[in-house]
Amino acid sequence: MAKFYEELTPKLLEFIAAQKMFFIATASAAGRINLSPKGMDLFRCIDAKTFAYLDLTGSGNETSAHIEADGRVTVMFCAFQDAPTILRLYGRGEVIRPAHPAWAQWQAHFPATAGQRQVIVLHMESAQTSCGFSIPLYAFQEHRTQLVEWAAHRGEEGLESYRREKNVTSIDGLPRGYPGGAA
């Protein structure tokens, strides 16, 4: 049975810490809904209602565009090992980029990582657990390294050029918050 929470319990915070991946969903008032898988141990529980993840440069940046257009965010964790559990965090997002006055404060929660583009902050309004009885069991092998290797190979100048070319607008034409295309 589903159960709702106004803030996360210590047990749910432990559950999040044990997960190897999560999914983030965002949408604007019109256009596509975006659902992205994330991994690499870049999700942090700041407190029982505040969460953040370090977002790396990639092929798109729908999450940022949707947060700036609408703000709604859902993060979902699925237990692929141990007890079957699904946890959804519902809330409002905030995008913190290197030029933001709070960048150093938020980035300090994460290791310096090649390709870091922004920190996505989730201010949780509610959470929901459900059974996860239909979720298959999978054994974690390791985190992939290709994205960080790709970013390190491009270097900061190459990444800025890539962001100006690929990350200026969303697939639905929304601005992604990079003035002049710069991250």
Which residues sit opposite 54 in a β-bridge? 119
Question: What's the mean per-residue pLDDT of the chain?
Answer: 93
- CB-based contacts of 164, cutoff 8 Å, min separation 6: 178, 180, 181, 182
pLDDT at position 176: 77
pLDDT value, residue 182: 39
Q: Is residue 183 part of a domain?
A: no
Domain-located, residue 99: yes
Q: Determine, yes or no, domain membership for 181.
A: no
> Cβ distance 76 to 87 under 8 Å?
yes
Question: Which tens digit of pLDDT belongs to each residue from 47-76?
Answer: 999 999 999 998 888 999 999 999 999 999
Contact 163, 182 (CB under 8 A): yes
Which amino acid is residue 57, in one-letter code? T
- For the segment 121-130, the average pLDDT, to the nearest whole number, is 98
- Find the CATH number of the domain harbouring 111: 2.30.110.10
Which pair of tokens denotes residue 31? Answer: 């256009």
In a domain, 66, yes or no: yes
Residue 112 has pLDDT above 60, yes or no: yes
pLDDT at position 183: 40
Q: Is 124 helix (H, G, I), strand (E, B) or coil?
A: strand
In a domain, 177, yes or no: no
pLDDT at 180 over 80: no
> Which of 92, 15, 80 minimizes the C-alpha distance to 51?
92
Does the structure show a pLDDT above 50 at 181?
no
Question: What is the mean pLDDT of the segment spanning 4-24?
Answer: 97
- Domain of 14? 3-132+140-171
- Average pLDDT, stretch 137-146? 95
What pLDDT band is residue 103 in, cutting at 50, 70 and 90? very high
Number of domains in the chain: 1
Residue 107 has pLDDT above 70, yes or no: yes
Residue 180 lies in a domain: no
